[in-house]
Structure 1
């Protein structure tokens, strides 16, 4: 039976002096195979990832583990304890208002100087040096920032320091009321078929502050910088093979341990494909997988306030003109139209919708795939 080590890291302090802590579980691989970093619950209400981490820990006890595995539940102790009545908030830092998953760091100006210094070196040396450079940059932000860091930055950078040490990074999230879907870098779309996830969003080489971007954009931009010099290094090569995904596990504010077991097995299918584990029983399901590019993943905002009956089913193409939802306006009853149907002019694939039936005009009602295709 494999044994995990456990460490509790301090990621900040509260006004009372109480420490903000995060548990880190590690399993040492028995070879030089690729390593993986998996974290959950960066947003407070997105708790299903913790159940998935639990199931992974249980399954990995009896699996041949080749590469190092690091698992971090409760990644954000501020967010997961941010309650308002019976609801967990914790999507935004309550002090700064910034999305907790938009505080990671990447400075693209490091790329070209590194490339100039690396010309002629072996792929493995380049990969090791670049990994160390990214870790060093994060440590500089943590230890040598003259004007200090926000609470969110301090948490994010310490998690990112762990993530940069791995070859593959999985950041576990959920939506409000949501289907399972995967944010996948465009260059890694072939890997999406190894997750048992039917909906995939292909994201470009653009850093917008999220963990997946902070850990794959540097490698992608590194390759592009070499290509500009006519040097062909590939992020699919063994030394430079780095991938990062945001894994959306369904809806927030609930855990389902049975579903978490299936999600954990899905992740193990990917890890088996990548050689992190040696467990041939984990093979991806045969299913229809849909995808769209990030630019075609659209939010639909409510045209009016009211009480919403969400009609469109997740994962089923919705024909143009068919209703997404109907909105009840009881204030209009008797002297107007109390029921309004809303629809779109083009075929879409609904992915998630707002958690509450009560919406203001301009609330993000649905998010949908447009111009989608089979992967």
Structure 2
């Protein structure tokens, strides 16, 4: 039922291949296909612990369908150390974000829909999946070659193309738990029980969740433009499960239960069937806040200095309340009159009510550093 294989995703200059574990859980019972990966960014290790708990649960409660689990998805990023810190968010050669190198081109979706407008749904799904697979094969076979990061991304993306559900597990710098939610799946997203939620449209920006849902959502929109309603047949989510460089097995079990709860109940409003009929995953509900992607705002440091972070992730903050205190220790020893014009510290605040999601990991910042990201104009999910 549980099998593990190694997949080569990169190659060192010495010719040594870097591999990742690919774990499949398949009890031979027909059902949906699920793909879950973790640790694409080197410092974001918490998702591996979540996969550990998921595998334990799946061993006890075999699901229908097929679940593919990929921990340690990016050995290049995981091994990218600088002293005691794991960097690993960007390819050190190109500077590109590892999670912005997936591929999708929707230029000919309208032509595809015009050809398949009268086809049955099974035919449409199979033909469209074949089309997406052909796109990736063509990209991987580019005679001019590909950057390192895109080699990795496309090999991971190929693993996910047959899935009905794709979950990409990440963390932030110093972060609360938050979820990127395609708007069509808002109802199903509640089952994750993640407190902060960011609602997204159908545009593709290079991330795995978008590479998953954008093609199918744009396909649904194109059919609707010709007067035929078809569902969005695939779900894709990015789950941000706390802070980077942190490993918390207790928190991981909580988030694994949230994922299992989503997997168990998602079929009630989606075109795939259930994975289980018996288990009831017990979760402790939390308030669910949301905002539109355009209202997920960054706050940048107005000056350089050393920062005392005052506002905590996930805790609502009123307009004008202290967000952070910016210290200017270069002014130590200055006269009283000098400190009046250029104080030793200043309190920073936001111009509107917000819920902090994450903040910069370092206390030493330049002018223009992205100090916080916050939800604004929030509403219940």
Q: TM-score range by the shorter chain?
A: over 0.9
Encode CA deviations 1:189-212: one digit per residue, 9 max, x unaligned.
111110021110001111110000
Q: Please identify runs of 4+ aligned residues in structure 1 that moved more than 3 A.
A: 277-280
Higher mean displacement: 314-323 or 290-299: 314-323
- Structure 1 residue 125, shift from structure 2 partner: 1.5
Partner of 1:195: 192
Distance 1:6 1:54 in 2: 14
Where do residues 202-351 of structure 1 align in structure 2 (5 Å cutoff)? 202-235=199-232, 240=233, 242-274=234-266, 275-335=274-334, 336=339, 337-351=343-357
Distance 1:79 1:86 in 2: 14
The DSSP-based 3-state class of the residue aligned with 1:262 is helix
Q: Which runs of 5 or more residues in structure 2 are unaligned?
A: 267-273
Out of 341, 344, 357, the residue aligned to residue 363 of structure 2 is 357
- Structure 1 residue 284, shift from structure 2 partner: 4.7
Encode CA deviations 1:116-164: one digit per residue, 9 max, x unaligned.
221211112211221122122112222x211001111110001001111
Distance 1:282 1:128 in 2: 32
- Structure 1 residue 64, shift from structure 2 partner: 3.2
Partner of 1:151: 148
Partner of 1:170: 167
Partner of 1:367: 373
Where do residues 104-143 of structure 1 align in structure 2 (5 Å cutoff)? 104-142=102-140
The answer as to whether partners of 2:36 and 2:168 remain within 8 angstroms in 1 is yes
Partner of 1:19: 17
The 3 A distance-change label for structure 1 pair 30 and 374 is same
Distance 1:299 1:96 in 2: 25
The DSSP-based 3-state class of the residue aligned with 2:37 is strand
Distance 2:352 2:329 in 1: 29
- Structure 1 residue 283, shift from structure 2 partner: 4.9
Could you tell me the TM-score, scaled by structure 1's length? Answer: 0.95
Could you tell me the TM-score, scaled by structure 2's length? Answer: 0.94
- Structure 1 residue 101, shift from structure 2 partner: 0.3
- Structure 1 residue 279, shift from structure 2 partner: 4.3
Partner of 1:70: 68
- Structure 1 residue 291, shift from structure 2 partner: 0.2
Distance 2:78 2:135 in 1: 28
Encode CA deviations 1:98-130: one digit per residue, 9 max, x unaligned.
100000000011312221221211112211221
Out of 28, 31, 34, the residue aligned to residue 33 of structure 1 is 31
The 3 A distance-change label for structure 1 pair 191 and 283 is farther
Structure 1 vs Structure 2 CA RMSD: 1.2
The answer as to whether partners of 1:41 and 1:49 remain within 8 angstroms in 2 is yes
The DSSP-based 3-state class of the residue aligned with 1:109 is coil
Encode CA deviations 1:266-286: one digit per residue, 9 max, x unaligned.
110011113233443115543
Partner of 1:87: 85
Encode CA deviations 1:215-246: one digit per residue, 9 max, x unaligned.
100001001111111111122xxxx2x11000
Aligned residues: 367
